[in-house]
Amino acid sequence: MRKILVTGAAGFIGFHLSKRLLDMGDAVVGLDNMNSYYDVTLKEARLAILQESRAFHPVKAELADRGAMERLFKEERFDIVVNLAAQAGVRYSLINPNSYVDSNLSGFMNILEGCRHGRVQHLVFASSSSVYGANTRLPFSVHDNVDHPLSLYAATKKANELMAHTYASLYQLPCTGLRFFTVYGPWGRPDMALFLFTRAILEDRPIDVFNGGRMQRDFTYIDDIVEGVVRVIESIPAADHAWRGDRPDPSSSFAPYRLYNIGNNNPVELMEFITVLEEQLGRKARKNFLPLQAGDVPSTFADVDDLTADVGFKPSTPIEEGIRRFVSWYRGYYNH
């Protein structure tokens, strides 16, 4: 039985991943600070499900608390670490930038140090499609330079990739970064579009539609994300002997380090997404059209060729099926 640390275990992706790992027979230590960025009762409900397994051990702590993190790594001796905890959200980073520095930079530093001293076999960490920033060449490729972020959130995720590479190089710590593309599904985050739209439509309130509804997002269903993460956990990176310093490829390294996109490889226009949701809810949305917001990008589109080649998996759940499952969960959970 492997012992795996999942940070952000009470969060959307962390909950689903922890459940999958427990079902596979792993022991999971689930760390979460249970902050109030969104509804804590939703986080508690997720944790309650995970605690039905005797192989799950919850830990309430801040990633940025160096002493607490040192004690955790010393006491537990993890085989694998999956870091999903972060202060999320592009728009919130415009309002409360310091929380991103604490969690995403100081907190990630503590994860790296814990993995280094604890001789962890593999650190898998969440990056984000937002690192592509001002890039306009589509689909977004892990082989492209990503040095022009458009939000502090994106900058902290890019920083995580650089910090992990440093530890892979200095200490031979195998690290894999995963750039997630607009994840949605049951038990999702209330600050994400699908959740916000569903709640507003059912309560007959208007929804905010940015960029005139012309935004395109590579919406990726949660089960596809989890399948990708599970496969990547098993695929511990080794040094790429073909890597060259005179033509550096950002996605690999002379060190045990890799980057992958996990996205549906099929961007959908926001208006189409809303239409599918309206069909599933049996109601029309009242739309409040707004301009593109600071920090947002018009389109995201994941090139997943490397993921497919290395771990044999490509996300494929269509939005019609994914939204249907979300609406079914939402109606059941909130008695709508």
The token pair at 325 is 């499952």
SS3 (DSSP) at 63: coil
- CB 224, CB 263: distance < 8 Å: no
Q: Is the peptide bond before 139 cis (omega within 30 degrees of 0)?
A: yes
Could you tell me which residues are beta bridge partners of residue 58? 30
Radius of gyration (Cα) for the chain, nearest Å?
19
**Phi-psi category of residue 182: left, alpha or beta, with phi > 0 → left and psi -120 to 50 → alpha:** left
Residue type, 128: S
Choosing from 92, 100, 132, 153, which is the catalytic residue?
153
257, containing H or E segment: strand 257-262
Residues 6+ apart with CB under 8 A from 178: 124, 125, 126, 127, 228, 229, 232, 259, 260, 262
57 closest CA partner among 38, 37, 40, 77: 77
- CB 161, CB 259: distance < 8 Å: yes
* 38 annotated active-site: no
Could you tell me which residues are beta bridge partners of residue 105? none
Helix axis angle for 107-117 and 152-171, nearest 10°, is 20
Please give the positions annotated as active site.
153
